[in-house]
Amino acid sequence: MEAITSLLYGFSVLLSVQNILFCFLGCALGTLIGVLPGIGPMGAMAILLPLTFKVPPVSVLILLGGIYYGAQYGGSTTAILVKIPGEASSIMTCLDGYEMARKGRAGPALGISAFASFIAGTLGVFGLMLFAIPLAQYALHFGPPEFFGIMVLGMSIVVILVRGSVGKGIMMALTGFMLSTVGQDIISGVPRFYFGLDSLADGFGIVPVAMGLFGVAEILNNIENPAPRETHGQKIRDLLPNKQDWRKATMPIFRGSVIGFLMGILPGGGPMISTFASYAMEKKVSREPERFGTGMIEGVAGPEAANNGASVGAFVPLFALGIPPNPTMAMLLGALIIHGLQPGPLLMAEHPEIFWGTVASMYLGNIVLLVLNLPLIGMWVRILKIPYRVLFPLILLFCVIGAYSMSYNASDVIIMMIFGVLGFLLQKMAYEPGPLILAFILGPLLEQSFHQSLTISQGSFLIFLTRPLTLVSLLAATLLLATSILLPKRRAVIAMEGS
């Protein structure tokens, strides 16, 4: 009963003209970002963040949240019609979705994708209400050592799940943490590591760094490697799946929703990994596993449900603990920090309008996305045909305006461009920027909890060993990193000995 009352309060927060408009705008932009390969939700969030400084925090989360889960909807359109995943989480959708389009069934593929996303997103919001509140109440008993241990564990899991080398992931996380120390010491207020540059006296801003790494870098990458776009199914019909399609897709949708939500809660899980798990599950339980990859609707329904379930599940640790489970959630955490809010369990107690307003917006957002992704498919197909040489100058101009509008300082634009070139070079050398931005945003919180822990213990490091949750978290992080580094080497040695 209390949850229903709180949800009604959330709808009272949502039902203002401004918040409804931000919900529609976030969903529409998210779908557009998903349809257009290359930018991604992180880049879009970074670009739009400067425009939200004069907006209430709840409106910001409604907008950015809509972009995040809306991009999961839009990414399936390019995966099915062009075989280019608009988002990394749509990679598995390419396998069967594109084959369905080639066979003239682009309509049912897009339809089941939209319905699976809607069902998973709605179920995910129920899960968010179910898990976030008890977890936040339990987390109120945590102290700085517990938060320090959980943050270290979360960052470790994200690092080891990078697509490339674990060593490179560790280097990116350490680089992000070092960048977060530039500026004033969070305890003493003494300037440090700014090399006499007044523009760095307050440290690097979240927005210029994120816009450079994910906005400008993606522009440069797309200019160098323009993706071919051969679209199937320009005349799309029969968007509503038939009874046989629903019979085959119903259980994959529910299984994908559960897998996605649970993996979204875990640090490092996220939409992409959940789609691989869902696809593997459907192939395992299928009576015709050999037909996967030839246009099986189950191979579209399961992963599409999983990536949307995961996108909602990721809000659980963000709201309950103030710890982002993936780099995209780190951008939402950065938005809260920029607006002067302290992330963590007290946020839900002191600012219930933010949590319940965001939850209510997800119910409306899923309905909006269903409406956007079925009747407007033809428009998204036409947008796919816009040449990138037309789009990138507009995106770059928006980035420059956004960086400059933060403090009306040209140095922010220069910092953005430097990180844009750096991000482009990092991608070419197979370094993922995700761990960097996650460590950069979490760095001050990690350092603060570390200092507070030592203050409580009067300088004794034993406090990290005498708190059970902290000890378990640190041991788990150490074990994960050690096994991730040593096991590949062990396999290489065995392979060499065998040859």
The pLDDT of residue 39 is 66
**Residue 53 in 3-state DSSP?**
coil
Residues 360 and 14: beta-carbon distance below 8 Å: yes
The span from the CA of 70 to the CA of 66, in Å, is 5
List Cβ neighbours of 88 (8 Å cut-off, separation of 6 or more). 271, 272
Q: What is the pLDDT of residue 38?
A: 60
For residue 242, the model assigns a pLDDT of 86
258 three-state secondary structure = helix
Cα-Cα-Cα-Cα dihedral sign, residues 71, 72, 73, 79: positive
CB atoms within 10 A of CB 1: 5
Instruction: Give me the torsion for CA of 33, 211, 433, 259, rounded to 10°.
Output: -40
CA 339 to chain centre: 20
Can you tell me the distance from the alpha carbon of 460 to that of 462, in angstroms, rounded to the nearest whole number? 5
Q: How far apart are CA 354 and CA 464, in angstroms?
A: 32
| DSSP code string of 193-214 | S-TT-GGGTT---HHHHHIIII
243 contact partners, CB below 8 Å, separation of at least 6: none
Rounded Cα gap, residues 97 and 79, in angstroms: 7
pTM above 0.85, yes or no: no
Domain ranges of the chain: 2-226+238-498
Give the C-alpha separation, 223 to 150, whole Å: 40
Contact 475, 465 (CB under 8 A): no
DSSP per position, 22-34: HHHHHHHHHHHHH
Using a 10 angstrom Cβ sphere, with 0-12 exposed, 13-18 middle and 19 or more buried, the burial of residue 454 is middle
CA 304 – CA 86 distance, rounded (Å): 13
- For the chain (499 residues), the mean pLDDT of every run of 10, in chain order, is 82 92 91 73 77 84 88 79 71 84 84 89 89 84 89 82 78 91 84 84 84 82 67 59 89 93 78 83 86 88 90 88 82 85 81 90 89 74 72 79 78 91 90 86 88 92 92 91 71 44
